[in-house]
Structures are given as structure tokens and as C-alpha cells.
């Protein structure tokens, strides 16, 4: 018997709206972000899933998204485990900067490399590979065993921490993952086989809305 893993990127945050590098900084959701989280929760309610446990990061935008989703599926108060292993990628010296200002300071090409390369970190920050290096062990030790026991597990986290998981689940190369963007508030429902490979994947919403 295997279970279900649901991944949801948090709704839009204040800093997403302002075009700022966010990383481990802790802005809250915008009004649109709350709407996106509610839409994701309603989609999961319509899907008919009830969770056994939820995981989220230590950052407000992911925790609020998680809470809103659980409210929509009628599971307020569900056991929710918070861990910084699921935090967004740390943008280091870029954190808090407007993306246009960063391009003016370091050049468009360099900022693009930091944002979109697999293994080149910004100054003082993490690459996608570095992010995966903390996400993957946590997934293998804390999340996957529950799914393989047959539990239904919600993970509400961030664009890059979830891209790290999608890379493994969807068996993407380090080149393929670079073009993958996850839409805010759109649940991805994975059913896993007993050997931890993916039996099926359902996206409950419009992935073309990714930004």
C-alpha cells in the first residue's frame, strides 16, 4: 500500500509582487496569494483528499498557504511539521534586492546565471543543487517513509525547494529542471509506487500561470 504526496508552492508574497529576491526573508502573502492558496485548497477539496500530516518550511508565506489549504479541506489543526530544510533557496547577497537593481549592479547575464543555473550560487547564497542537498535527505528520512506507509502527505513550500523534489520525482536532468517553473497555489498530486517511483501525477490547476 502506498500513499499520496501533494506538493504546493505558496501563494504570491509581498516580495514576489515587488519583484524582490526573497529567499529566507519572511514576507507574508498578498491578497492575491491568499486567493491562490484558497484556490489550491478548493481544488484539493474537490479532489476529495484528506491528509494524515502536513509539512512546511519555517517561513510565513508557506505556513499560511498550508493553513489555508487545510482550512479548505476541513482539516484545521492537522499535525503540521515545520522545518527549514524545506525553506526557499537562500539568495544570499541578492536577498531583498529588486531584480532590476541586481541586473544593473551585476549585469543581466550574471544575474540570469545565478537565477537559472543548476550549480552556480549567488554571493553568500545557495544554488539549486545546494537547495536540493538539504531538501533531498529530509524528504528521504521524514516525508517519503510516511507516503510509503500509505499516508497522504501535504508539503506546502517554495518554488526552488519544490523544484528540487520535482526534479527527482519526475526524473528530470539538471538541464531540464532549469526550465521548470511551478505556479503559485497549484497542487501537484503524486501517487507513489512501493519502490518510491511515481505511479501517477495530477496537476490540479493551470501550470501555465507560473511566474
180-188 average pLDDT score: 96
* pLDDT score at 1: 65
Whether the per-residue pLDDT at 205 is higher than 90: the answer is no
83-106 average pLDDT score: 96
Tell me the average pLDDT of the chain: 95
Which letter does DSSP use for residue 139 in this model? I
Whether the per-residue pLDDT at 16 is higher than 80: the answer is yes
Domain 4-39+51-205 sits in CATH at: 3.40.50.1240
pLDDT in tens, 45-84: 999 999 999 999 999 999 999 999 999 999 999 999 999 9
The residue whose grid cell reads 543548476 is 118
* pLDDT score at 211: 42
Q: CB–CB of 11/32 below 8 Å?
A: yes
* pLDDT score at 208: 52
Percent of the chain exceeding pLDDT 70 equals 97
Whether the per-residue pLDDT at 210 is higher than 50: the answer is no
Whether the per-residue pLDDT at 164 is higher than 80: the answer is yes
27-41 average pLDDT score: 97
* pLDDT score at 101: 95
Cell (9 digits) for 114: 545565478
Q: What interhelical angle do 159-169 and 128-138 show, nearest 10?
A: 70
- Tell me how far apart the alpha carbons of residues 29 and 184 are, in angstroms, rounded to a whole number: 11
CA of 192: how far to CAs of 83, 165, 189, 204, 209, in Å? 23, 13, 10, 17, 26
* pLDDT score at 207: 59
Which residues are known to be catalytic?
A: 10, 88
* pLDDT score at 2: 80
Amino acid at each position: 500500500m502506498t500513499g499520496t504526496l501533494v506538493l504546493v508552492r505558496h501563494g504570491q508574497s509581498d516580495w514576489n509582487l515587488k519583484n524582490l529576491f526573497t529567499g529566507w526573508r519572511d514576507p507574508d502573502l498578498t491578497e492575491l496569494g491568499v486567493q491562490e492558496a484558497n484556490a489550491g485548497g478548493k481544488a484539493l477539496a474537490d479532489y476529495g483528499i484528506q491528509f494524515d500530516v502536513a509539512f512546511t518550511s519555517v517561513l510565513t508565506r508557506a505556513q499560511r498557504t498550508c493553513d489555508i489549504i487545510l482550512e479548505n479541506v476541513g482539516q484545521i489543526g492537522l499535525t503540521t511539521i515545520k522545518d527549514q530544510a524545506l525553506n526557499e533557496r537562500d539568495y544570499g547577497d541578492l536577498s531583498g534586492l529588486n531584480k532590476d537593481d541586481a541586473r544593473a549592479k551585476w549585469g543581466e547575464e550574471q544575474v540570469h546565471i545565478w537565477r537559472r543555473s543548476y550549480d552556480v550560487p549567488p554571493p553568500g547564497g545557495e544554488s539549486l543543487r545546494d537547495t536540493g542537498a538539504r531538501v533531498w535527505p529530509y524528504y528521504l528520512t521524514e516525508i517519503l517513509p510516511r507516503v510509503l506507509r500509505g499516508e497522504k502527505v501535504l508539503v506546502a513550500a517554495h518554488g526552488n525547494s519544490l523544484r528540487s523534489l520535482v526534479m527527482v520525482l519526475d526524473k528530470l536532468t539538471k538541464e531540464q529542471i532549469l526550465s521548470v517553473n511551478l505556479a503559485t497555489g497549484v497542487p501537484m498530486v503524486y501517487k507513489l509506487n512501493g519502490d518510491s517511483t511515481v505511479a501517477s501525477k495530477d496537476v490540479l490547476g493551470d501550470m501555465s500561470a507560473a511566474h
